[in-house]
Chain A
Amino acid sequence: MITVLFFAQLRDQLGCESVSVNAEGIRNLAELRAHLLEEHPDWQPYLGLESLLLAVNQTLVKLDHVVNSGDEVAFMPPVTGG
């Protein structure tokens, strides 16, 4: 399984803070997102945003990054700390 986390306004918009996804047939983050959007078409306006930051196992990565079973993936709005 892949654990997927959502933060801040994205979590509020989706009404969901985490989901578990079966890793079978999912090679990278782009495919993971496509899979989530297939299951939740109403997430498109939020999860489809190009501005989102992506992390795999707590490191920032790009959409073509490989994902494996056991990974922790995060979809995050642009950060606003400091």
Chain B
Amino acid sequence: MNEIAVQTQDFDVGAEYAALISGDTDAGAAVFFVGRVRARNDGREVTGLHLEHYPGMTEKSLQDIVQQAKERWPIERVRVIHRVGALRLGEQIVFVGATSPHRAAAFSAAEFIMDYLKTRAPFWKKEQTSSGELWVEARDTDQQSAQRW
């Protein structure tokens, strides 16, 4: 299984979890995060998203982020899926899964990957709202989260 996937189609969390732990009895801990399209953002009613990316660089940057996580923590397996294109309300956007012998490394690695992804991987969200379309502004809190590591 590839560690990284950038795709338009949805993913199945159960299948991803099964693949992450399949045949690996050393990983006593499995952590995953799923990001979804939510209804409200900065007070706006969101009806959907369009996710743009920079093909080629996106995969490269995710691979680099995963590599950095592996250098910092004793990770057994990692899986990162990020969707692009049109997404409706409530749909899954991103999956990050990590396994390790103990939970601390898996929690930290998953959070690190999300924090770095949100500040370094070339994805951009355009929101559809009741009053039209609008590019989402980057948040300072995401920068601060990434700077913790």
Contact = CB atoms under 8 A, between A and B. Distances in A.
Contacts, number: 75
B88 interface: no
A60 B54 contact: no
A77 B138 contact: yes
A79 B126 CA distance: 11
B124 interface: yes
Contacts of A80: 118, 123-125, 135-138
A48 interface: no
B82 A79 contact: no
Contact of A58 (B57, B119, B126): B57
B135 A8 contact: yes
Give the residue among B82, B114, B125 with the most A Cβ atoms within 10 A.
B125
11 contacts: A8-B52, A8-B135, A51-B138, A76-B122, A78-B119, A79-B119, A79-B121, A79-B122, A81-B94, A81-B121, A81-B122
